[in-house]
């Protein structure tokens, strides 16, 4: 198993290098960072603009793209990801935003994946019964609803709930009430949890709907397999045969989706982060594109590529654990 995973890791490493390089080259080719200074009033002189761009390795007028790419790679090898348009370190800003997205998406991923698998398996077992019909209808409703619509509806519900109960339990903006409050105190943890409820629901409900449909279809296909009938013929009850043999087999194709979905949520939860004013990776990615920020977009590309590598390895481990035939 170790040799198999090592081969896969080497393949993923090459993919990370290619993906990161393509991301930087596309951003450096398409973006025009000088527009950030040309749009100012009064407009700085070109000497000032060139000096600012040179400090960021983004001067497309005086420095060829391949030279900028070589400088960028050299900086990466020395732990320097460059400077963003605002003048801050890209690495420091990314580290802070990764923490924000992790707080939001870690719980959402767990709820979405486990909830989706459980709902899908139970819906298949109770096919066409009340639970299956209700879960199917709810999943289709969530599928048909854009993420930003669901987020806004949750905000409206929070406003109604707070007014009806005379409390302020559900928060629908920001990550914390007071950024300067003492960190990791009991009141701080409670406050952060209250701010986490609605964004978590906004992200996890879509994942539950998606995975439950996929898991239900996979489980229904497995339930008609010969090995389950053989297990029943050997004396196992229906539920024991399904959950001991069927569910394990049905989870294998879903395992890949689960791991990669966790990765995509980091940069894909853009609407949720913007609507609930969470300054995470998704919000940073969109704002960086709007600001023609080559270094920040390239950093997001590196981060996403590494996450895909990690997700691929996790997927391989899960698949090999559940299906030993893959090791051969």
DSSP conformation letters of 225-240: SHHHHHHHHTT--HHH
Please state the pTM of the whole predicted model.
Answer: 0.80
What range does the domain containing 298 cover? 2-327
Residue 107 pLDDT grade (very low, low, confident, very high; cuts 50, 70, 90): confident
* Phi, then psi, of 146 in degrees rounded to 5: -60, 150
Mean confidence (pLDDT) of the chain: 84
Q: How confident is the model at residue 327 (pLDDT cuts 50, 70, 90)?
A: low
- The pLDDT value given to residue 28: 92
Whether pLDDT at 68 is above 90: yes
Give the mean model confidence (pLDDT) for residues 176-181.
Answer: 76
Helix (H, G, I), strand (E, B) or coil at 254: helix
Q: Which residue has the higher pLDDT, 18 or 86?
A: 18
Please give the Cα distance from 194 to 135 (Å, whole number): 27
Phi-psi region of 82 (alpha: psi -120 to 50; beta: other; left: phi over 0): left
pLDDT of residue 88 exceeding 80: yes
Residue 283 pLDDT more than 90?
no
SS3 83: strand
What is the DSSP code (8-state) at residue 31? -
What CATH number does the domain containing 232 carry? 1.10.3720.10
Condensed to tens digits (0 to 9), the pLDDT of residues 89-98 reads: 999 999 989 8
Reported as a single tens digit per residue, the pLDDT across 122-166 is 898 888 899 999 999 999 999 888 888 889 999 999 999 988 888
Instruction: Label residue 272 by pLDDT band (50, 70, 90).
Output: confident
Q: Is the pLDDT of residue 57 over 70?
A: yes
Q: Model confidence at 295, in pLDDT bands (50, 70, 90)?
A: very high
Let me know how many helices (H) and strands (E) the chain has, helices first.
14, 0
Counting the structural domains of the chain, the total is: 1
């Amino acid at each position: 198993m170790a040799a198999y995973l090592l081969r896969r890791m080497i393949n993923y490493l090459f993919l990370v290098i290619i993906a990161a390089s393509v991301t930087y080259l596309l951003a450096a080719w398409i973006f025009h960072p000088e527009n950030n200074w040309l749009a100012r009033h009064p407009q700085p002189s070109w000497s000032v603009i060139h000096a600012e761009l040179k400090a960021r390795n983004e001067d497309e007028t005086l420095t060829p793209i391949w030279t900028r790419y070589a400088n960028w790679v050299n900086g990466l090898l020395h732990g320097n990801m460059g400077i963003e348009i605002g003048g801050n370190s890209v690495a420091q800003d990314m580290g802070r935003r990764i923490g924000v997205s992790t707080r939001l998406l870690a719980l959402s991923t767990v709820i979405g994946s486990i909830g989706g698998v459980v709902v899908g398996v139970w819906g298949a077992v109770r096919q066409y019964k009340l639970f299956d019909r209700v879960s199917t209808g709810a999943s289709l409703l969530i599928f048909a609803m854009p993420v930003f619509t669901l987020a806004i509806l949750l905000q409206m519900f929070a406003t109604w709930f707070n007014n009806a109960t005379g409390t302020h339990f559900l928060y629908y903006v920001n990550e914390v009430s007071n950024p300067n409050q003492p960190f990791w105190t009991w009141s701080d943890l409670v406050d952060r949890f209250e701010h986490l409820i609605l964004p978590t629901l906004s992200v996890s409900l879509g994942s539950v709907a998606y995975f439950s449909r996929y898991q239900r279809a996979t489980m229904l296909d497995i339930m008609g397999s010969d090995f389950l009938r053989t297990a029943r013929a050997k004396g196992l009850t229906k539920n024991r045969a399904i959950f001991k043999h069927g569910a394990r087999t049905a989870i294998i194709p879903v395992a890949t989706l689960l791991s990669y979905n966790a990765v995509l949520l980091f940069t894909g939860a853009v609407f949720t982060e913007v609507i609930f004013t969470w300054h995470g990776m998704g919000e940073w990615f969109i704002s960086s594109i709007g600001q023609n920020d080559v270094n920040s977009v390239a950093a997001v590309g590196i981060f996403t590529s590494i996450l895909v590598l990690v997700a691929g390895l996790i997927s391989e481990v899960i698949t090999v654990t559940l299906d030993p035939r893959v090791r051969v």
